[in-house]
Amino acid sequence: MVNFLLSVIVPVYNEENNIKPLLDRLLPVISKYNYEVIFVDDGSTDKTSLLIKKIGEKNKNIKLISFYRNFGHQMALSAGYESAKGDMAVTIDSDLQDPPEVIEKMILKWQKGAKVVYAKRKERQGESYFKIGTATLFYKILNFLSDTPIPNEVGDFRLLDREAVNYLVGLKETPGFLRGLVAWPGFPTEYIEFKRERRFSGNTHYGFFKMLNFAIDGIMSFSTKPLRLATFFGFFAAGLGFAGIIYEVIKKILYPETFVTGWIGIFVAVIFLGGIQLLTIGIIGEYIGKIYKEIQKRPKYLVKEKINL
């Protein structure tokens, strides 16, 4: 008989068709341990919460946190971490793209001393080349800009030791990018490779623009280098403008007969400098926006109800 408690955290949003298939595969894997499964309903409008409640009436280890509205995937994970009582916590999505059978291998790595165990994708079924390519590009840009190395080809399917969970729960900042926050302390880390399967049912809730916002959040949360790049852009634009002035003065002196005052050069210069200015203002605005959200100190989410907690 094992002497530890396993917490499995499952964020859900309109996943009524995936709840039972997930539990059919998950429970046989974790039933040999002391366990709790914490579903975090991120404001679903279908019967997701109702199904989980019915299952929770028969199995008190199945628990539910329900939000009033959609606060986002990262907030749902945070709520799960804050409620988890286990010696370790595994986060997994409900669409069965991340196979529950990998959890056993994660636990073995944890028992050998790992504080963080990532499930690393070696193959991704059912995902377009565009999505895979943009995800790879995002991590390359993020690791180029960030002072904290963030693992590539990993998502939110991971195991965290109680120490790592306590660290996350104790953070005072709004956890907009948990993948970076998990990597930041440098806890002893291991990896389990797996083949990511096709989504069992329904469509992904992370469209292009959501992924873009997520990427910007990640970059802005773990790097100030974009501000430095904005400064370099400013110097570059100023240097280019100064070089243009010198060029025109020399041309006027040496070749006055060929000197023609044209609007095209002015137009290009204005567009170029305007673009640099807007880019710089946008970068600064992103950081100011993050500061604004932090000083508001609003709750990260609002809980509508809790079941078996």
Q: What are the pLDDT digits (tens) for 127-160?
A: 666 666 666 676 677 667 666 677 777 888 999 9
Give the chain's count of helices (H) and strands (E).
Answer: 10, 8
> Tokens at residue 251, please?
């041309």
Same domain, 208 and 162: yes
- DSSP-derived secondary structure for 4-35: SEEEEEEEESS-TTTHHHHHHHHHHHHTTSEE
Average pLDDT (193-202) is 71
Residue 47 scores a pLDDT above 70: yes
Same domain, 273 and 162: no
Instruction: Report how far residue 164's alpha carbon sits from residue 110's, in angstroms, rounded to the nearest whole number.
Output: 12
Same domain, 132 and 9: yes
Percent of the chain with pLDDT over 70: 76
Q: What are the pLDDT digits (tens) for 67-91?
A: 999 998 889 999 999 999 999 999 9
Residue 217 scores a pLDDT above 60: yes
pLDDT of residue 23: 96
Same domain, 216 and 292: no
The single-letter code of the amino acid at 305 is E
Residue 210 scores a pLDDT above 90: no
Same domain, 207 and 242: no
The single-letter code of the amino acid at 110 is W
pLDDT of residue 172: 80
Domain that includes residue 14, residue range: 5-222+298-307
Same domain, 54 and 75: yes
Task: Supply the CATH number for residue 169's domain.
Answer: 3.90.550.10
pLDDT of residue 70: 92
pLDDT bucket at 177, cuts 50 / 70 / 90? confident
pLDDT bucket at 163, cuts 50 / 70 / 90? very high
Q: In what order do the strands lie in the sheet containing 189-196?
A: 189-196, 116-124, 154-161, 88-91, 5-12, 34-41, 62-67, 303-307
Same domain, 174 and 250: no
Same domain, 302 and 278: no
Same domain, 45 and 111: yes
Strands (E), 149-188: 154-161
- Count of domains observed in the chain: 2
Q: Write the Ramachandran bin of 112: left for phi over 0, alpha for psi from -120 to 50, otherwise beta.
A: alpha
Contact 168, 91 (CB under 8 A): no
Same domain, 65 and 162: yes
Q: What are the pLDDT digits (tens) for 99-122?
A: 999 999 999 999 999 999 999 887
Q: What is the pTM of this model?
A: 0.75
Same domain, 123 and 38: yes
pLDDT of residue 208: 58
Same domain, 251 and 218: no
